[in-house]
Amino acid sequence: GIKPPKGVLLYGPPGTGKTLLAKAVANTLSTNFLKVVSSAIVDKYIGESARLIREMFAYAKEHEPCIIFMDEIDAIGGRRFSEGTSADREIQRTLMELLNQMDGFDYLGQTKIIIATNRPDTLDPALMRPGRLDRKIEIPLPNEVARMEILKIHATPIQKQGEIDYESIVKLAEGFNGADLRNVCTEAGMFAIRDDRDYIVQDDLNKAVRKIQESKKHETKMEYGDV
């Protein structure tokens, strides 16, 4: 006699495949899939954002079974506070409408919601409580085995020559996410093009990993340089 969970929260660092995972779920279950970027819901006219939320859930219920995927939920799901501009109040009204749709008088039925964020600490407690988001799943950075799998997936369609030591690349790529590993393959291809080749070699991948490492260090300095 129990009711299945209505919603799932996927949280973790950027580039770990939260959006991709939601797409895989919809594809595996052969359901309708409604992808919404939360920041696009916020409208400058009062009441428009809440209306979009209502229409979104109404559409999903008409096309059951349906999964609603809301990416970057922190755009509308942040903690509420009493002070703020009219834009902040509009965002709060949008959040209240979302909360109402998730556990209002109407049972969601075969409509399920998946929410993704990089910043779970900023979300409103009302959104996080059981009954709305019953499952909270962390999507961490890939470990060495996962990095190997991801790198091979992205490297497979690329023309290669000679032996490629994926293990050494993966060891160098400590702390990389899935998006970084895809970027390694792209950068390796760029190095090959600069050398007027139509294939990559081991050295291209080594140089690509070091280049991505340098850019990641630069990003960290930009984020924490003033601390």
Tell me: do 65 and 159 sit in the same domain.
Answer: no
Residue 178, domain member (yes or no)? yes
Residues 59-116: tens digit of each pLDDT = 988 888 888 998 888 888 777 666 656 566 777 888 888 888 887 645 667 888 899 9
At 222, the pLDDT band (50, 70, 90 cuts) reads low
Looking at 79, 107, 138, the residue that finishes a domain is 138
Q: Order of strands, edge to edge, in the sheet holding 32-37?
A: 32-37, 66-71, 111-117, 7-11, 135-138
Query: How large is the average pLDDT for residues 25-31?
Result: 84
pLDDT tens column, 108-162: 678 888 999 988 888 888 888 887 888 899 999 999 999 999 999 999 999 988 8
Give the pLDDT of residue 218.
65
Which residue, of 138, 162, 186, is where some domain finishes?
Answer: 138
Counted domains in the chain: 2
**Higher pLDDT, residue 227 or 15:** 15
pLDDT at 105: 46
User: Is position 224 within any domain?
Assistant: no
Which residue, 101, 121, 138, sits at the end of a domain?
Answer: 138
Q: What band does 202 get if pLDDT is binned at 50, 70 and 90?
A: very high
- Please state whether 196 falls in left (phi above 0), alpha (psi between -120 and 50) or beta: left
Position 47 in a domain: yes
The pLDDT score that the predictor gives to residue 208 is 93
pTM score, two decimals?
0.79
In sign, the C-alpha dihedral spanning 194, 162, 154, 208 is negative
Do both 130 and 148 map to the same domain?
no
User: What is the arithmetic mean of pLDDT over 192-209?
Assistant: 92
**Band of pLDDT at residue 227, cut at 50, 70 and 90:** very low
Domain that holds residue 196: 144-216
pLDDT for position 126: 84
pLDDT attached to residue 210: 93
Same domain as 27, residue 105: yes
Chain segment 159-185, per-residue pLDDT in tens: 988 888 999 999 988 889 999 999 999
Pick from 36-45, 47-56, 94-103: least confident: 36-45
Residue 98 located in a structural domain: yes
